[in-house]
Amino acid sequence: QVQLVESGGGLVEPGGSLRLSCAASGLTSEHYAIGWFRQAPGKEREGVSCISDYGGKTYYLGSVKGRFTISRDNAKNTVSLQMNSLKPEDTAVYYCATPGYGLGYDCRSWNLYHYWGQGTQVTVSS
């Protein structure tokens, strides 16, 4: 049974930082793409960032590029999202997700992400 467990959300002031972590278990493949999505109230879910099977290729949503950094530790089956210079518009529930297998060079095939965590709330407010 595949499980993704997120942690690290919370309340932070504008300009602050948070680090989200996601621990994956139960995956049959050792190599899988993994990413972070978010959904704000009244808005559609959007892909924020993803990292390829071996970590060699990353993708960032335009509005977070230069502020967020995704990384993975394959030995520990974890992926992290370091979020700096947070803005109120970053407020959302953040989800970790994976297709459960590799997507090759481009990890942005969002429709293939079938395994999801429960989500963690990130609130950016003064």
Count the neighbouring beta carbons within 10 Å of the beta carbon of residue 30. 9
Residue 98, both tokens: 């994976």
Strands 10-12 and 120-124: parallel
**By the 8 A CB rule, do 56 and 74 touch?**
no
pLDDT at residue 14, as a whole number: 98
Cα 118 to chain centroid, rounded:
12
Q: How far apart are CA 5 and CA 120, in angstroms?
A: 9
Q: How far apart are CA 24 and CA 61, in angstroms?
A: 23
pLDDT category of residue 44 using cuts at 50, 70 and 90: very high
What pLDDT, in 10s, does the model give residues 68-115? 999 999 889 999 999 999 999 999 999 999 999 988 888 999 999 999
Residue 45 has pLDDT above 90, yes or no: yes
What pLDDT, in 10s, does the model give residues 62-76? 999 999 999 999 889
